[in-house]
Amino acid sequence: MFPGCLRDAHSLQRHYPSHSLDIRIKPSKQAQNYDAIAPNWDGDDFNRDNGIAQHQRVLQFVKNVKKLCSALNPGGILIYTIRGSLSIKRAKMKRKHILSGSEFEEKFSYSRAVVDKDYVFVSGTTGFDYQTMTISSDPVEQAEQCFKNIESALMQAGSSLDEVVRVHYIFPNKQDFEPCWPMFKKYLGNARPAATMFIAGLLDENMKLEIEVTARRSA
């Protein structure tokens, strides 16, 4: 009975990708137990006028889905929720750039972090205190300052260290890697992201390491 309803639900997702949608089908007593969910999605950016027009078309489409479910499953209930406003708000924001005040960002024309939809991409970050542009000679202290700098950028982006999904560590000297492990556990112990360590030279010989992360925005 229900595949027809599901096909229409997925068609709705495909044709109106700019809205978030939940569809649940509660069966009648005569039907088998069934709970179908069309998961949420975010679509391409669109302006507010188009968003309202699409929202009206979605409402009409859902009415058609409801009629179909009623015909296939008399006495059943279609429960649906459309959240177009969230997608419109995100579309208006588009991409957001986070700056830390580092002189390197100005010199090399990059951002400390970039927010794009549900993800935050943080640039390779070193142990400089960007307010004073000073750096410790201790790699462990640099590692802690790296995470403080990253945490500040993530907070501005609406995320946190607990939302980190991938981390890259870059060390000019591999001997400095293991002493920093306690700092990795301190700041990423909850996130436990996918991780890779590289041995490579850095721009300034005072830099003992660089850390780059990707995180999801907090729900």
**Cα 114 to Cα 201: distance, rounded to the nearest angstrom:** 24
pTM to 2 decimals?
0.58
Of how many residues is the chain composed?
A: 219
The mean pLDDT value for 111-119 works out to 93
Model confidence at 75, in pLDDT bands (50, 70, 90)? low
pLDDT value at residue 192: 98
25 or 160, greater pLDDT = 160
pLDDT tens-digit readout, 152-194: 999 999 999 999 999 999 999 999 999 999 999 999 999 999 9
pLDDT value at residue 218: 77
Is the pLDDT at 145 greater than 60, yes or no? yes
pLDDT value at residue 25: 44
**Cα 59 to Cα 41: distance, rounded to the nearest angstrom:** 16
pLDDT value at residue 74: 56
CB environment 9-22: b (16+ within 10 A), e (fewer): beebbeebbbbbbe
pLDDT, the chain, mean: 74
Q: CATH fold of 94-216, please?
A: 60s Ribosomal Protein L30; Chain: A; (3.30.1330)
Domain boundaries along the sequence of the chain: 3-92, 94-216
pLDDT tens-digit readout, 39-67: 333 333 333 344 455 555 656 666 666 66
CB environment 97-120: b (16+ within 10 A), e (fewer): ebebebebbeeeeebbbbbeeebb
